[in-house]
Amino acid sequence: MKDFVFIFRQPSYDYSNSSAEEMAAINKKWNDWIGGIAAQGKFKNHGARLEVAGKVLKPGGVVTDGPFVEIRERLGGFIVVTADSLEEATTLAHGCPALDADGSVEIRPIFA
Amino acid sequence: MKQDHLKHLFQQEFSKMVAVISKRFGLQHIEIAEDIVSETFLLATETWKTKGIPVNPEAWLYTVAKQKTLSYFRRNKIFEDKVIPEINRKQEQQDNTDEFSFSQQNIKDSQLQMLFAICTPAIASEAQIGLALRILCGFGIDEIAEAFLSNKETINKRLFRAKEKLRTEQIQLAFPAEREITKRLDNVLHIIYLLFSEGYYSKTQNQILRKDLCIEALRLGVMLTEYDKTNLPKTNALIALMCFHSSRFDARQSGEGELILYEQQDEDIWNKELISQGIHFLNLSAIGEELSTYHLEARIAYCHCIKEDTAEKWEEILQLYNQLLMINYSPAAALNRTFALYKANGAEVALPEAEKLKLEDNHFYFVLLGELNKNVDKSKAIACFERAKALAKTPAEQQLMQLKIDQLLIRS
């Protein structure tokens, strides 16, 4: 067994106008998906969910409020899972709600 | 006083008296304490047979046990050589004026300290449960053997090794230091949880024994609430959990010892008082920051106390299981989570998720797969129930599987 990080990237999306029901539906999707990984005994820990706002420091001391990267690839957060191989970890990543939102999951082994 | 009343009295007093004697003379003499208490009971049985039961049988027992203890330690010179120096040392340290007494307070303190002593990390958890059953709950060796589906010899050996550990590790009958308590409390709560599970899910058919186990676990839990340092939200959550489960104890077993599935249980025989006790403790647990597995399990158990089958209920159960699994994976929680997923999101969502679990040697895994396939693929469902039946460990479970197979066959 080896540890892998799932890094979630999603296009920027302004959730401030979403209704409580919409937010609850999104939360449920994520919880059910992670719950499914945990039910296989493969969930290791929550990395961190990142807040939307922040700063970017660039060469020459330039500080901006963003965009952090290309608009399609805002880092949303990450979790740590365990799997036998990179292939198995990739299979686990299927069904991730970030994909429904036109985002992606990056699967990266952690150095043991 | 009838025979079983006496048995009950002895069982209750055993743990109190052993705790108090061990507290006074040191945990290394725990076996002597056990012997003295057993001798006291023997004498009581003989004396009371001819002279009748005294007005205050407990006081009688305490007086006799005290005399026996003092004379034992004097006779064997242990008193002068070892105990007195030890006591002197203790008195210097904490001015321990509390004599060798069976006062209510001293009994309570001694029992709680015994609970912490037994739950020392030095002893394996299986032996801890055995020791807790013997020393704290006053169960006989044969009863413990029955609860573990084991034999007396194995249990005796296990207890002997555990007591030896108490000696060699020089475990003291005292409260752990302030900063140690939280860590040790986790272990104590875990042992109480295992004790309860042993009773609730035990494979033994002896219903009275199983219920006794659950009641004892509850009693130990409540004992912890009487002290500020151990009366934490998670302690209350554990008690709530045990109350909710216990409320269904009678309802889930038919007169013939068959298991009755949740859906078919008669909610009128759910114990309402235990449910409201559970709610009381659940409310007490809902303070502070910590969300323990006991909190989550207690809330799940509470949801199951609402018989009405609503989408909201199953959604809540599903989310609680999602959280529980993220903190603490267990095959049972994974299976229950998938069942909740089926109830909340439907069979077509739950079936592929169930197939990922791959708990091929688990009886309940095939029960679940059978249920999920029931309306999708009948022959597959029957095959699953057949596998479940082959893996089932008790006749009651096998019968239940056959019933499910028969029902599917009739339905064609």
Task: Locate the domains of chain B by residue range.
Answer: 313-348, 359-412
Residue written as tokens 């979403």? A18
Distance in angstroms (rounded) separating the CA atoms of residues B251 and B272: 12
> B65 to each of B4, B31, B40, B43, B44, how far by Cα in Å?
22, 14, 6, 10, 10
ipTM above 0.85, yes or no: no
Residue B288: per-residue pLDDT: 87
* Spacing of C-alpha B379 from chain mean position: 40
d(CA B301, CA B333): 12
Rounded to whole angstroms, the Cα distance separating B369 from B378 reads 11
Q: What is the pLDDT of residue B230?
A: 92
* C-beta separation of A69 from A78 below 8 A: no
Q: Is A49 exposed, middle or buried (0-12, 13-18, 19+ CB in 10 A)?
A: exposed
Find residues 4-33 of chain A whose CB sits inside 8 Å of chain B: 28, 31-32
Instruction: Decide if B319 and A34 are in contact by the 8 Å CB cutoff.
Output: no
With residue A6 as reference, give the H or E element that holds it: strand A2-10
Cα–Cα dist B28/B167, whole Å: 5
- Whether the pLDDT of residue B101 is over 50: the answer is yes
pLDDT, tens only, B263-322: 667 777 788 899 999 999 999 999 988 899 999 999 999 999 888 889 899 999 999 999
The token pair at B78 is 């242990």
**Longest pairwise C-alpha distance within chain B:** 83
Q: How confident is residue B88, by pLDDT bands cut at 50, 70 and 90?
A: low
pLDDT bin (cut points 50, 70, 90) of residue B325 is: very high
What is the rounded CA–CA span in Å between residue B36 and residue B13? Answer: 13
Q: How far is B330 from chain A (nearest CA, A)?
A: 8
Among A76-85, B56-65, B145-154, B402-411, the least confident range? B145-154
Whether the per-residue pLDDT at B35 is higher than 80: the answer is: yes
Nearest CA in chain A to B337: A39
Domains and CATH numbers, chain A: 2-109 (3.30.70.1060)
Q: What's the mean pLDDT in B147-170? A: 87
B349, pLDDT greater than 90: yes
Chain B residue whose CA is closest to A91: B356
Q: Report which residue type is found at B132.
A: A
Q: What whole-number percentage of chain B has pLDDT above 90?
A: 46
**A32 neighbourhood in chain B, CB within 8 Å:** 318, 322, 341, 345
CA distance B320 to chain A (A): 10
DSSP state of B121: T
Q: Decide if pLDDT at B261 tops 80.
A: no
Q: How many CA atoms lie within 13 A of B392 on its CB side?
A: 19
The residue of chain A with its CA nearest to that of B329 is A41
Share the mean pLDDT of chain B: 87
Length of chain A: 112
pTM of this prediction? 0.83
CB contact under 8 A, A35 and B326: yes
Band of pLDDT at residue B95, cut at 50, 70 and 90: very low
CA distances from B346 to A22, B313, B379 (A): 20, 14, 20
Per DSSP, what are the bridge partners of residue A48?
A78
- CB B319 to CB A46 under 8 A? no
- Quick check: A72 pLDDT over 60? no
At residue B260, the pLDDT reads 59
- The answer to whether the CB atoms of A35 and B337 lie below 8 A apart is yes
Classify each residue of B162-182 as buried b or exposed e, where b means 16 or more C-beta atoms within 10 Å of its C-beta: bbebbeeeebbbebbeeeebe
pLDDT the model gives residue B257:
52
Task: Among B319, B322, B345, select the one facing A38 at the smallest CB separation.
Answer: B322
* B330 to chain A: closest CA residue: A41
Contacts of A34 in chain B (CB under 8 A): 322, 326
For B75-214, list the strands marked E by DSSP.
Answer: none
> Does A62 contact chain B (CB < 8 Å)?
no
pLDDT at residue B97 above 50?
Answer: no
- DSSP-derived 3-state class of residue B157: helix
**Cross-chain residue pair B319–A38, CB shorter than 8 Å:** no
DSSP structure class, residue B166: H
CA B191, CA B129: separation in Å to the nearest integer?
Answer: 6
Q: Do A36 and B353 touch (CB under 8 A)?
A: yes
